[in-house]
Structure 1
Amino acid sequence: MTDDIRVALVTGAARGIGKAIAFRLSDDGFAVVLNDIHQNTEVLSQLVDEITAKGRTGSFVTADVSSEDEIRGMVEQVVQRYGRIDVMVANAGIGSYSPIPQITIDEWDRIMNVNARGVFLCYKYAGLQMIKQGTGGRIIGASSVLGKRGSAFNPAYVASKFAVRGLTQAAAMEFGPHNITVNAYAPGAIDTDLLPASLPPGTPRETMISILGGMSPMKTVGYPVDVANLVSFIASDKSGFITGQTLSVNGGTYFD
């Protein structure tokens, strides 16, 4: 990574963890490109306005992370605008509460396409660009505590997050000779819109927070900023000897 402008691309950045990561990397001095699906264009525009109002550099590009053409095009747009990509954060993800006997193949494919295929495509095209640049880089993906310890009632989500761990290790081995590190973060219960996918539909929010927070020795759920703080370190020059890891940020709900 050079001393010139550093560019970070964050997928799934319209809300929750992705939004927190984008804002934190902006505060760290990166020119940040926020990505989300086309339907969230207005939200992305507002977030970019917030970033630029602080004197930071920001922009957005819409793309469906499960589409190879759109991810290829997204990376090309970022390079056309800034000349490079130094950090890719493949954060976009979805989930649902669907026990194995009830989950449909369409729901399975939908979750796997976003959570696993989407991360793969981001790793692939960011990696190709970073290799071309020849100055190294950071590739970071979104796994989960459920990518380290299985859980009932959301099999596609669990499988997709385990897939991210394996992909991260494979990519770290392939990209390492190019001074590109590849790591993932594995959040526990984080207070975002995705939290309801952990429990049966209709569970009151207060009950949800109590149940999930009670699994932690700290007796609380986490917040998007907790994940953003970890990503900030992984994206920095200080993490140069860390690669192939899926780092936990779960309040002690699972030790590894």
Structure 2
Amino acid sequence: MTHETGVAIVTGSGQGIGQGIALRLAEDGLDIALFDLPSNKEKLDRVAEEISKKGRKVICLFGDVSNEEDVSNLVEKTVNELGSLDVMVANAGIVFHSLVTETNVSDWDTLFSVNVRGTMLCYKHAGIQMITQGKGGRIIGAASVASKIGQPYASAYVASKFAIRGLTQSAAMELGKYGITVNAYAPGPIDTEFLGKFDEFHTSLSGQSKGSFLEGLKTKNCTKSIGEPKDVANLVSFLASKSSEFITGQSIVVDGGAVFD
């Protein structure tokens, strides 16, 4: 794979999959703009320190992806401080669990504002910047295996990830003529704090011991294992590279072989 020297933004990069992606793209030779909530400053600073050790430029920016001004400022500050925007990774997302019959509208709206509006705003402002630059680019979003098949107790999360698939396809159709590809990664179970929330909910529901839900997930894929952030980062590395120039509008599953397209 070949990567141009360039600049990537990774939202939600203080931990988990976002952190793994940021570190991998730095290893690939890109300078990185990290973005997360102000409450994750210590985590973001630690990621920035690791990236600096790899010899890449890095900046830490803070805000809320659901706020358009924050996302617009993110892109503007990245370009001003690092010189361009070549890869946008709209990774930030949240989850809550509830039966659809018990779902609180406020919780639903909050989740959609982060997962869907936040991703749209990243696509929008990255697209504007990349069109202005006139040299193409890579826009990459966070879908999920939940964007391919429904899950009980997660209707809001599932619906938001289905929305990201549709958004990704439409944006790919609109931006392709500018040399901009738009794709999404669709992880299955990845060993992160985020996955721990699923285990905590389902084990409390079943009365089983902590960790038993995760162990059960291992029986449902071909590799009989839980993935790691690097498994998703490897895919994003490819999607961010010049080698992926003929791939766009896709939401690609990374789950050890449980959900098949």
Matching residue of 2:221: 216
Matching residue of 2:113: 113
Does the alignment pair 1:193 with 2:193? yes
Matching residue of 2:180: 180
- Cα distance in 2 for partners of 1:23, 1:3 equals 15
- Cα distance in 2 for partners of 1:34, 1:104 equals 32
Matching residue of 2:22: 22
Matching residue of 2:82: 82
The one-letter code of the counterpart of 1:134 is G
Matching residue of 2:171: 171
The one-letter code of the counterpart of 1:226 is D
- Cα distance in 1 for partners of 2:74, 2:46 equals 19
Matching residue of 1:231: 236
Matching residue of 1:254: 259
Structure 1 segments, 4+ long, off by >2 Å, are 2-5, 196-206
Does the alignment pair 1:8 with 2:42? no
Matching residue of 2:250: 245
| Contact 1:97-1:200 within 8 A present in 2 as well | no
Does the alignment pair 1:149 with 2:154? no
Q: CA deviation at 1:102?
A: 1.8
Q: Helix, strand or coil: the match of 1:84? A: coil
Deviations 1:122-164 (A, max 9, x none): 0000000000000000000000001011111111100000000
- Cα distance in 1 for partners of 2:102, 2:249 equals 34
| Contact 1:143-1:184 within 8 A present in 2 as well | yes
Runs of 5+ unmatched residues, structure 2: none
| Contact 1:97-1:201 within 8 A present in 2 as well | no
Q: CA deviation at 1:170?
A: 0.4
- Cα distance in 1 for partners of 2:148, 2:197 equals 17
| Contact 2:3-2:241 within 8 A present in 1 as well | no
- Cα distance in 2 for partners of 1:120, 1:227 equals 21
| Contact 2:135-2:179 within 8 A present in 1 as well | yes
- Greater Cα offset, 218-227 or 203-212: 203-212
Deviations 1:34-74 (A, max 9, x none): 11111111221121112112322212111100101110111
* Percent of matched pairs sharing the same residue: 50
The one-letter code of the counterpart of 2:254 is V
Q: CA deviation at 1:22?
A: 0.1
Deviations 1:92-119 (A, max 9, x none): 0111121112220111011111111110
Matching residue of 2:104: 104
| Contact 1:88-1:126 within 8 A present in 2 as well | yes
What is the aligned-residue RMSD (CA, Å)? 1.5
> TM-score under structure 1 normalisation?
0.96
Q: CA deviation at 1:83?
A: 2.1
